Structure 1
Amino acid sequence: MPDLVFPAGTDLLQILWCPLVHEDDQDTAKPRLHWRSTALTAADAAEGQPPRPHTADEDFLPRPCTVSPTPAVEYPNWDLPDGLSERLGERFEALQEERGFDYFEVATTQQSKVGGYPSWTQPPNWPDCAGCGTRMEHLLSVTATEAGMGRWLPLDERNPSQDQVATPSWRAEADPAALEAFGHHMDLGDLGGMYFFVCRTCRDTPYTHRYDC
């Protein structure tokens, strides 16, 4: 991920969670972030498959898959600055009439990503850092489903029968054969997912997360 900024001395970010339902954490998996050094982690790594918990919620267990980063420009959707949405209302209406889509449909990509903005499905809930009190930065999102409704599709994932130039990427249909092999196959909720936030001002890069369903 070329735009991912690592704390000093690290070049690897691991996202781990316990794949059990935690009632004290909005009935979902409980995640942890770890910034590590590739060299030190490789030296301590054990060979073989990672351990699989004997008891787990299958919806929280990702299947082995790869990541193919694709850059995209995003804008805030439901958390525009106070009054800005009202001031831009006429432009949003003109955009929908001209292009056939609503601003809030396409401002953010509704899928797993690094950086950008959370694609809130519930009212925005930005966390403040417990240490310094400033609003934390959105680090990454792990969405509820990867091939779900409203997903942004790069050209190489679209259905070959579609006009790939005329059809907007957020309205395109994926190749059905490609969808079967695509994504983590987890189900973290209806539409949202887990959003992770960090504070780069405080020492040790503290983090937290929000579950949005």
Structure 2
Amino acid sequence: MCAEPGHYKPLDAPVGPEPVAMVPVVQLYARDVPGLAFPAGTDLLQILWCPLVHEDDQYAANPRLLWRSTELTAAGTAAGEPPRPHTVEEDYLPRPCTVSPTAAVEYPNGDLPEELADLLDERFDDLKEKQGYCYFEVATTQQSKVGGYPGWTQPPDWPHCAGCGTRMEHLLSVTATEPGMGRWLPLDDRDPRQGISAAPSWQAEADPAALDTFGHDMCLGDLGGMYFFVCRACPGTPYTHRYDC
């Protein structure tokens, strides 16, 4: 539950003093993401957030990241429906959906060093002229992801751990470009019978009406995202997040 006194829904009446139930956003099992290192004794990663605006939290939803054990979680499961928020900002309320883990090799976009980008500029132009695709379209992954690089829509803002001072590791992103923009569509979701092209994933095209049925259906600003970072050197695997829009 989120009991922050200042959370609100824009252009709406005050939320009131009662807590608001958080909503589940991401749930990943270790068995489904073999490349993701889980802290000892855990095999379940969950992200929840309060689906209201928090001015002291980058004017966005207020998230919580939890590493858990499926065995302990199952043992403590309560009967009945989970609590639901009595009011929400619709942009932060995910539509129920499943994940389709798909491996993708990517390269930095906003994090590409300026000197290197200048050196490669001519090659990028040549790629665009000959293939019809720019570097951004074929080398970066803008969808929600585990690992890789944050799909910054504003200048990169990497956090440093408050405990040890080192730059934190990008753990995962929940982005608004899901699934119809950027480089690829999850392989499990590409069904020609639903208007999804069988072309290579970074060339995938689809009927907009078909794409509307996929993904979390959230609007995180202007194609922005919520980026989560962890420090694996400090006890407890501390985390933080960044939001841009």
Matched, 1:194 2:223: no
- Provide the residue aligned with 1:41 in structure 2: 73
- Provide the residue aligned with 1:123 in structure 2: 155
CA distance in 2, matches of 1:12, 1:123: 31
Is the 1:114–1:141 Cα contact (8 Å) retained in structure 2?
yes
2:95 paired residue among 63, 76, 87: 63
2:141 paired residue among 91, 109, 118: 109
Is the 1:159–1:173 Cα contact (8 Å) retained in structure 2?
no
Structure 1 stretches of 4+ moved >3 Å = 154-165, 168-171, 175-178
Instruction: Count how many residue pairs are aligned between Structure 1 and Structure 2.
Output: 211
Question: Normalization by structure 2: what TM-score?
Answer: 0.79
Q: Aligned partner of 2:219: which letter?
A: D
- Provide the residue aligned with 2:50 in structure 1: 18
CA distance in 1, matches of 2:178, 2:197: 23
Q: Which moved further from structure 2: 77-86 or 142-151?
A: 142-151
- Provide the residue aligned with 2:214 in structure 1: 182
CA distance in 1, matches of 2:112, 2:177: 25
Q: Identity across aligned pairs (percent)?
A: 77
Is the 1:75–1:117 Cα contact (8 Å) retained in structure 2?
yes
2:236 paired residue among 186, 189, 204: 204
Question: Normalization by structure 1: what TM-score?
Answer: 0.90
2:106 paired residue among 60, 71, 74: 74
Which blocks of at least 5 consecutive residues in structure 1 are unaligned? none
Q: Which moved further from structure 2: 51-60 or 151-160?
A: 151-160
**Structure 1, residues 74-103: CA drift from partner, whole Å, max 9, x if none?**
111121235111122222122222211111
SS state at 1:184 partner: coil
Is the 2:140–2:183 Cα contact (8 Å) retained in structure 1?
no
Pairwise CA RMSD of aligned residues?
2.0
- Provide the residue aligned with 2:23 in structure 1: none
**Structure 1, residues 2-40: CA drift from partner, whole Å, max 9, x if none?**
211100111111101111111111221010101111111
Which blocks of at least 5 consecutive residues in structure 2 are unaligned? 1-32
1:139 paired residue among 171, 182, 198: 171
